[in-house]
């Protein structure tokens, strides 16, 4: 029996086949927090964790995050705010609550339908007096009206009848870090608790620091199976910061009551009067009705998956996990809002405050560059919009140009705190913001890659080049001349491997800084010839001078970037550290710290937290010969513990590239399953955006070997695992949608009804002509 | 091993011996709500339910009720408001909460020490990772400073060490009827959430209807066993309507941390600026410290018990239950506040809205009349202070004089609603306020009894007589002349037995109305001769005329009050109802509805809810010969189901009086154990004031046969159960403290060091001279 068959017809008809479902087949209260992240939904305007709608759960972190709504208050940094919880509908019979933790839930099943963006569950509640009630709920956040969410409850008393009591609740008592007393903080002030017209609840809030207003409204309808209204009374009750509408309804033995809750959240970011807009949208949503809204929502997911699905034949588990990562990744960003980005935990948890890190540019952006270039444009535009803040940030730190913050929220201020608190309450000085500067190069790199893949030269002219020039200017000011060695150096810096901080001449940082400067100069020269007006504008706006440009070039040229060939030292003195290699792996095939180093501090051992030199070689592949890449991969892989979710995917791809794939698949698994199997134990805090993007990269850029060759041409060097028979996916290459099919033998590229087939051994390169000229007819069915 | 020995020395030294403890020896979440009432504490200014201080409990109704703080808002009536919960102190270790429902509590024991007015508990919390923490808490509401409460936590990590995180919480999100969605209502608006100086939390609130302001403040100290401060950091965090002070403290393996929480609640009823007063009192309390405050508190309970204890030799269970009833009864009222009364559920739960009923005058007041005449004076003064409202209430209903409300809160308005809601949501018309008028006679009766027992003639002159005259005036206007029978009647009325409503000529009501009028006339005549100035004042103030007084007397004289001898018909036509007697009793020896009447409505059967004619005979014993009392008891007892907690105690005493004591002890048990054994299953809603007072009456007025004879002399007609060897108690008889010792053989009365001994068979009468003249030396030791 498929899982959907376990649901009533009303839900079963909505659900996809099992391979598209993520299932929780038994209710375990200790796993609830992780499932709240896994089952989080996102509409593009907001994210809503998969908390149980009926409430009464002991370990729960219900949350509704709205893109762009940040606040600091007593916290260490501006955080994505937990906004009032609209996704609650308490159910009672004679005052006894009905919920998953009110008695043992029987026949429990909860599924996330990734295909349609739905969360569905069913169980039977048995009360202490033997009453049994079947509860089935299906919930979605509408991608058709992304400020709206809704869920429908099928409530069936199996062995009794009477009056069911409902509470349509919007709970504004929420805080961030609700279950972590040391970090718990309230970000919103409640300004209004009131009834909506004609019925329903409304909560007005504003952020405590900036006073940004937002409104949350919700209505509930109650019907029988024939659609007749069954709400026999309604009463609005304000309970302090809890807006509650009490509703009751008669229900007969074995009859099913259909209860729908419709909600909307609007902010002053989009509407001057959130209350008016919320009222309008909630009433329109209720008018359209659940089925109509759901159909519109599913049509949007049809379109999303038509672009984003990656089909792997021969590996069901990985297929499932990959779709899980793609689902949450593509659901998260705001389609029309370049003022927002994607947090390190997406919009599914509040760890890292919803901040954008370099994770965006190097792990997440490639997926969007290739699959949803419109979203990619928002992500890079976000950085441009915060360029002035990056300029301020550089100046504040004594540099020129633009220095992007390590953690970025809505204002572009550095949100990475100088002091942090351990779970035990001890404070420690956090040097990340002070020393870890490579994010600024990642911003530049991301823009360059965006433009190369999408062909969006307009972005570079309008925004990207200015950012590259200002970041180049930053790097030029960040380096110091070493007279003895006649070279420029970057001292006191932290590279991606944060276990060694700060160091001198981190190879990754130096080389990316050099790349940033040279790329900016190259693009500026290109612009001068191609778009003299843009060139002129930038020249004036940035007060560039020939002398400054010459200075940049000179600095870049004599920049110390470590060896070009052979083993690259991660930073000055790294090779002098006590050395030992990894010889043991845990049950997940993940490396264990060599015994020699137990109890040692980071800078007393050679062991890396995550890819650093390997990351450099991954990003600037064309600048290092393959033997150099292999030597370094071999050396550093033996010394890397992958204690960041950013590391395994890079090692998967680099292993494949250098022909050392003995652990590539394990790295892929590590990346793919991090959340769907909660294999780091921290999924409760949100989903890992970087490993989601990294997983997509492993499959497409890694195993399918897709990339841009040194001539800027789309090329493939596939190397599928033996168990995979075929991988199929779509991309948009410089504006042209392509369908890519990779097998062990060949790579097929379809565009506009035409198909071209390359033998794998021919090292396929897809020139722009290929797409147009190919005469091979398209293969049927996607 | 005694129970106190199971506690650490700091608590053990405080606790009384086992016979004074009410124990919960195993934690059962389903019984928690009942224990919250049973373990409720009251200071005289407020009542605080016995919720677990550490929180995290699923079924809990934490509440702090403050005398005189009522509000209606969306409720059907003004209710005693649940005010912000100050008795919370959340405890965490690495974010994991420590509480009775966080893991299975081991070695759990919670005891109410009735002797000292303390609540103490201990258990060991085992976390999921095996960490074990011993928690011991002792809490009290200070009778020395009755706006203050405090508790001390002994926290001992048994197998770990580290930083313990504490949350000093005042939670203002509370509502009334928190777990009953249909009735849940918010009575307070939160006006301020702020930090106290030098540390601690403050919550400002005001009632939603009248805007009465109140303030709640709390400080927490953390020390080691040597008294050294161990709070290493404090941070105030406002979480909406939750004031929270986050504190952390290092604790070593097997070390005990001593955490104290000090709180104070003040209202605008007593202080113009609650915040200033709260700050002052909390700081003074913290300064005095836990041990000093506790010593002052216990000294107050020493004094209370010195007056109130009733020692029963030979019946440990009943002794225990009697003390339980006395403990809560004497703890509840406000010693210095005649503006407040005692609710039907005392101050331990919110059922009946904290309202005073006739329960006060007829069940509760006798205890205070005899034991705490100062409190009794407050209780009768309360009615005098609301006399104007009673006048309004009479006028509103078309009557003259003063009609007291069936349910009385702070304003004296009728709080008994005309419409009520069933648990299933159906509304029904509630006729109690419209028809059940006998409370007005009870008010008069209570004042008369108060004055007779206490000898407080001043009260009658200043207040009581005015009330008796106005209630007499009400009754005179309430009756109707039946020309055919040449008598006055009261039609459409409900007597104590509410299963027959409304009826004509309820014997109880008619006779009490007659008594009220005649008593008023008698006292007025007495006043005229004794205190002509008082008489003149009242004459003017009440605009009395000789004609009106003649009219009252005439009406009373020809009032129809049913038979004076033989069987009294409860109301016109009662004897015509289908008849059947009770033939079956349940396991608690309580009667079951005769099968013939199952499915019948109240007025289709003869069965009574509670004492009605029997209640009349109990109250006006001197007016009916003993044979009449016996006949009526015999008849009605066979037809009474005792579905009110007001009924068993009356039947106990009347059975003893008429010599039919076969069920007297069972009635006493029914009354005595109603809450301590939760034998009606509704203790969660508060404690039954009437059965508490009734239980005391059963022992003293019933078994010890204490009463006022027809000459107004204190007399005894004891009839102890065979298992009791002796009963010993204290009263204040017309200002003179007496110690009464009753055995099967004799009654000893001690006063001012003298003792007089009467043989039981001599029908002891304690004339005022006896106390002074007796030459028998006092027996040693009380």
The answer, for A481 touching chain B at a CB cutoff of 8 Å, is no
How far off is chain A from B390, nearest CA to CA, in Å?
Answer: 32
Mean pLDDT throughout B109-134? 97
Contacts of residue A400, defined as CB under 8 A and 6 or more positions apart, other chains included, come to A394, A473, A474, A476, A477
Selected residue of B237, B242, B685 to mutate for chain A interface (largest A Cβ count, 10 A):
B237
The answer, for A424 touching chain B at a CB cutoff of 8 Å, is yes
Chain A residues close to B185, C-beta within 8 Å: 237
Question: Is residue A781's pLDDT more than 60?
Answer: no
| Residue A628 tokens, joined | 């150099």
Render the burial of A79-95: b for 16+ CB within 10 Å, e for the rest. Answer: bbbbbbbbbbbbbbbbe
Question: Is residue A428's pLDDT more than 90?
Answer: no
How far off is chain B from A212, nearest CA to CA, in Å?
Answer: 17
Mean pLDDT throughout A241-245? 97
Out of B179, B237, B240, the one facing A241 most closely (by C-beta) is B240
Least confident of A171-180, A766-775, B51-60: A766-775
Reported confidence tier of residue B778, pLDDT bands at 50, 70, 90: very low
Selected residue of A425, A426, A682, A684 to mutate for chain B interface (largest B Cβ count, 10 A):
A425
Known active-site residue A498: yes
Task: List the single residue in A with minimal CA-CA distance to B239.
Answer: A186
Question: Is residue B769's pLDDT more than 70?
Answer: no
d(CA B736, CA B335) in angstroms, rounded, equals: 20
Selected residue of A182, A233, A350 to mutate for chain B interface (largest B Cβ count, 10 A):
A182
Task: List the single residue in B with minimal CA-CA distance to A186.
Answer: B239
User: Do B181 and A246 make contact, defined as CB atoms within 8 angstroms?
Assistant: yes
Whole-structure pTM value: 0.93
Question: Do the Cβ atoms of A413 and B152 come closer than 8 Å?
Answer: no
ipTM: 0.89
How far off is chain A from B332, nearest CA to CA, in Å?
Answer: 28
How far off is chain B from A35, nearest CA to CA, in Å?
Answer: 19
Question: Is residue A778's pLDDT more than 60?
Answer: no
The answer, for B59 touching chain A at a CB cutoff of 8 Å, is no
How far off is chain B from A497, nearest CA to CA, in Å?
Answer: 27
Reported confidence tier of residue A770, pLDDT bands at 50, 70, 90: low
Q: What is the pLDDT of residues A745-757, one digit of tens each?
A: 999 999 887 888 8
User: Do B425 and A248 make contact, defined as CB atoms within 8 angstroms?
Assistant: yes
User: Do A95 and B181 make contact, defined as CB atoms within 8 angstroms?
Assistant: yes
pLDDT attached to residue A776: 39
d(CA B614, CA B630) in angstroms, rounded, equals: 10
The answer, for A76 touching chain B at a CB cutoff of 8 Å, is no
> Quick one: which of B135, B113, B267 has its CA closest to B203?
B267
| Residue A87 tokens, joined | 């996704």
The answer, for A237 touching chain B at a CB cutoff of 8 Å, is yes
Of B165, B436, B466, B498, which is the active-site residue? B498
pLDDT attached to residue A269: 96
Task: List the single residue in A with minimal CA-CA distance to B249.
Answer: A425
Q: What is the pLDDT of residues A267-318, one digit of tens each?
A: 999 999 999 999 999 999 999 999 999 999 999 999 999 999 999 999 999 9
pLDDT attached to residue A769: 59
Reported confidence tier of residue A130, pLDDT bands at 50, 70, 90: very high
Question: Is residue A6's pLDDT more than 50?
Answer: yes
How far off is chain A from B257, nearest CA to CA, in Å?
Answer: 17
pLDDT attached to residue B777: 37
Question: Is residue A602's pLDDT more than 90?
Answer: no
Mean pLDDT throughout A83-106? 95
Q: What is the pLDDT of residues B407-432, one digit of tens each?
A: 999 999 999 998 888 767 778 888 89
d(CA B186, CA B74) in angstroms, rounded, equals: 8
Phi, psi (degrees; rounded to nearest 5) at B588: -90, 15
Mapping DSSP to helix (H, G, I), strand (E, B) and coil, where does residue B27 land? coil
| Residue B765 tokens, joined | 């009468």
Task: List the single residue in B with minimal CA-CA distance to A95.
Answer: B180
How far off is chain B from A669, nearest CA to CA, in Å?
Answer: 28
- ∠ Cα B390 B396 B400 (to 5°): 65
| Residue B237 tokens, joined | 């965090």
Task: List the single residue in A with minimal CA-CA distance to B93.
Answer: A424
The answer, for B681 touching chain A at a CB cutoff of 8 Å, is no
Mean pLDDT throughout B519-525? 97
Task: List the single residue in B with minimal CA-CA distance to A92.
Answer: B181
Mean pLDDT throughout A205-224? 98
Q: What is the pLDDT of residues B589-630, one digit of tens each?
A: 789 999 999 888 888 999 999 999 999 999 999 999 999 999
Phi, psi (degrees; rounded to nearest 5) at A503: -130, 170
Chain A residues close to B232, C-beta within 8 Å: 425
Chain A residues close to B162, C-beta within 8 Å: 424
Task: List the single residue in B with minimal CA-CA distance to A180.
Answer: B95
User: Do B179 and A248 make contact, defined as CB atoms within 8 angstroms?
Assistant: no
The answer, for B92 touching chain A at a CB cutoff of 8 Å, is yes
Reported confidence tier of residue B775, pLDDT bands at 50, 70, 90: very low
| Residue A668 tokens, joined | 């892929």
The three state secondary structure string of A303-331 is: HHHHHHCEEEECCHHHHHHHHHHHHHHHH
Question: Is residue B246's pLDDT more than 50?
Answer: yes
Render the burial of A336-374: b for 16+ CB within 10 Å, e for the rest. Answer: ebbebbbbbbbbbbbbbbbbbbbbbbbbbbbbbbbbbbe
| Residue A141 tokens, joined | 């956040």
The answer, for A599 touching chain B at a CB cutoff of 8 Å, is no
pLDDT attached to residue A773: 47
pLDDT attached to residue A104: 85
Selected residue of B240, B423, B424, B681 to mutate for chain A interface (largest A Cβ count, 10 A):
B240
Q: What is the pLDDT of residues B572-590, one digit of tens each?
A: 999 999 999 999 998 877 8
Q: What is the pLDDT of residues B299-338, one digit of tens each?
A: 999 999 999 999 999 999 999 999 999 999 999 999 999 9
pLDDT attached to residue A768: 58
The answer, for B425 touching chain A at a CB cutoff of 8 Å, is yes
Chain A residues close to B242, C-beta within 8 Å: 173
Mapping DSSP to helix (H, G, I), strand (E, B) and coil, where does residue A108 land? strand
Out of B173, B185, B424, the one facing A237 most closely (by C-beta) is B185
Question: Is residue A367's pLDDT more than 70?
Answer: yes
pLDDT attached to residue A780: 35
Chain B residues close to A684, C-beta within 8 Å: none
Q: What is the pLDDT of residues A34-78, one digit of tens each?
A: 999 999 999 999 999 999 999 999 999 999 999 999 999 999 999
Separation in Å, CA B510 to CA A55, B191, B393? 54, 50, 20
Question: Is residue B779's pLDDT more than 50?
Answer: no
H helix intervals, B344-437? 358-359, 365-371, 373-385, 387-396, 432-435
Out of A58, A237, A238, the one facing B58 most closely (by C-beta) is A58
Contacts of residue B76, defined as CB under 8 A and 6 or more positions apart, other chains included, come to B417, B419, B420, B421
User: Do A237 and B186 make contact, defined as CB atoms within 8 angstroms?
Assistant: yes
Tell me the residues of chain B between 181 and 220 that have a Cβ less than 8 Å away from chain A. 181-182, 184-186, 190
pLDDT attached to residue B223: 97
User: Do A248 and B128 make contact, defined as CB atoms within 8 angstroms?
Assistant: no
Phi, psi (degrees; rounded to nearest 5) at B284: -65, -40
How far off is chain A from B534, nearest CA to CA, in Å?
Answer: 51
Percent share of chain A, pLDDT over 70: 98
Question: Is residue B227's pLDDT more than 60?
Answer: yes
User: Do B235 and A92 make contact, defined as CB atoms within 8 angstroms?
Assistant: no
Q: What is the pLDDT of residues A722-735, one digit of tens each?
A: 999 999 999 999 99
Separation in Å, CA A381 to CA A446, A462, A463, A520, B579? 11, 10, 7, 17, 89
User: Do B239 and A184 make contact, defined as CB atoms within 8 angstroms?
Assistant: yes
Out of B58, B180, B239, the one facing A95 most closely (by C-beta) is B180
Using alpha carbons only, how large is chain B's radius of gyration in Å?
27
Q: What is the pLDDT of residues B756-768, one digit of tens each?
A: 888 888 888 887 5
Of A101, A498, A669, A750, which is the active-site residue? A498
């Amino acid at each position: 029996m498929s899982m959907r068959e376990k649901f009533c017809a009303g839900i079963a008809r909505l659900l996809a086949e099992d391979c598209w479902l993520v299932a929780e087949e038994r209710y375990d209260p200790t796993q609830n927090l992780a499932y709240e992240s896994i089952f989080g939904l996102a509409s593009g305007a907001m994210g809503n964790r998969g908390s149980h709608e009926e409430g009464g759960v002991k370990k729960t972190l219900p949350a509704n995050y709205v893109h762009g709504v940040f606040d600091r208050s007593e916290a260490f940094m501006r955080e994505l705010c937990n906004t009032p919880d609209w996704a609650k509908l308490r159910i009672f019979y004679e005052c006894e609550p009905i919920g998953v933790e009110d008695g043992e839930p029987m026949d429990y099943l909860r599924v996330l339908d990734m295909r349609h963006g739905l969360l569905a569950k069913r169980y039977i509640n048995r009360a202490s007096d033997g009453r049994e009630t079947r509860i089935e709920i299906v919930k979605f956040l509408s991608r058709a009206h992304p400020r709206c969410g809704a869920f429908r409850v099928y409530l069936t008393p199996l062995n009794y009848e009477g009056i069911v009591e409902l509470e349509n609740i919007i709970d504004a008592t929420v805080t961030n870090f609700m279950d972590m007393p040391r970090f718990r903080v309230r970000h919103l002030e409640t300004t209004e608790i009131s009834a909506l017209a004609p019925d329903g609840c409304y909560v007005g809030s504003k952020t405590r620091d900036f006073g940004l207003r937002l409104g949350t409204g919700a209505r509930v309808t109650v019907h029988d199976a024939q659609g007749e209204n069954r709400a026999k009374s309604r009463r609005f009750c304000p309970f302090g910061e809890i807006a509650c509408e009490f509703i009751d309804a008669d229900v007969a033995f074995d009859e099913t009551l259909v209860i729908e809750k419709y909600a909307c959240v609007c902010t002053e970011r989009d509407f001057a009067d959130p209350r008016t807009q919320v009222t309008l949208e909630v009433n329109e949503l209720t008018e359209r009705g659940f089925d109509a809204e759901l159909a519109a929502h599913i049509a949007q997911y049809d379109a999303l998956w038509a672009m984003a699905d990656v089909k792997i034949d021969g590996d069901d588990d990985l297929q499932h996990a990959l779709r899980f990562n793609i689902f949450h990744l593509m659901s998260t960003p705001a389609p029309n809002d370049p003022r927002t980005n994607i947090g390190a935990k997406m919009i599914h948890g509040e760890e890292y405050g919803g901040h954008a890190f370099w994770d965006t540019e190097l792990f997440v952006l490639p997926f969007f560059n290739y699959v949803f270039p419109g979203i990619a444009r928002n992500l890079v535009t976000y950085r441009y919009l915060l360029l002035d803040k990056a300029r301020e940030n550089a100046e504040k730190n004594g540099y020129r140009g633009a220095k992007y913050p390590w953690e970025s929220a809505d204002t572009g201020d550095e949100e990475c705190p100088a002091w942090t608190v351990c779970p035990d309450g001890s404070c420690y000085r956090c040097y990340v913001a002070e020393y870890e500067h490579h994010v600024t190069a990642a911003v530049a790199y991301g823009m360059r890659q965006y433009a190369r893949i999408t062909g969006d030269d307009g972005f570079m002219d309008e925004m990207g080049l200015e950012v590259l020039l200002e970041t180049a200017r930053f790097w030029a000011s960040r380096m110091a001349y070493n007279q003895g060695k006649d070279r420029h150096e970057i001292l006191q810096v932290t590279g991606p491997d944060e276990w060694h901080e700060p160091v001198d001449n981190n190879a990754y940082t130096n080389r990316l800084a050099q790349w940033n400067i040279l790329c900016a100069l190259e693009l500026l020269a290109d612009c001068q010839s191609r778009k003299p007006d843009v060139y002129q504008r930038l020249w004036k706006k940035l007060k560039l001078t020939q002398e400054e440009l010459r200075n940049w070039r000179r600095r870049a040229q004599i920049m110390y970037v470590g060896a070009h060939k052979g083993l690259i030292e991660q930073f000055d003195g790294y090779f002098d550290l006590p050395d030992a290699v990894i010889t043991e792996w845990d049950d997940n095939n993940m490396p264990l710290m060599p015994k020699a180093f137990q109890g040692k501090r980071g800078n007393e051992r050679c062991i890396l937290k995550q890819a650093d030199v390997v990351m450099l070689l991954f990003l600037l592949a064309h600048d290092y010969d393959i033997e150099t890449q292999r030597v370094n991969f071999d050396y550093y892989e033996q010394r890397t513990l992958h204690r960041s979710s950013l590391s395994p995917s890079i090692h998967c791809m680099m292993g494949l590239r250098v022909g050392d794939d003995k652990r590539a698949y394990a790295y892929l698994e590590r990346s793919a399953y991090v959340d769907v199997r909660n294999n780091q134990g921290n999924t409760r805090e949100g989903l890992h955006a970087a490993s989601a993007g990294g997983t997509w990269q492993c499959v497409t850029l890694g195993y399918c070997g897709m990339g841009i060759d040194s001539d800027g041409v789309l090329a493939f060097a596939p190397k599928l695992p033996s168990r995979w028979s075929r991988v199929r996916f779509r991309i948009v290459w410089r504006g042209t949608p392509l369908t890519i099919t990779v097998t062990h033998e060949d790579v097929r590229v379809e565009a506009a009804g035409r198909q071209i087939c390359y033998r794998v051994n021919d090292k396929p390169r897809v020139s722009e002509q290929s797409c147009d000229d190919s005469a091979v007819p398209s293969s049927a069915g996607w």
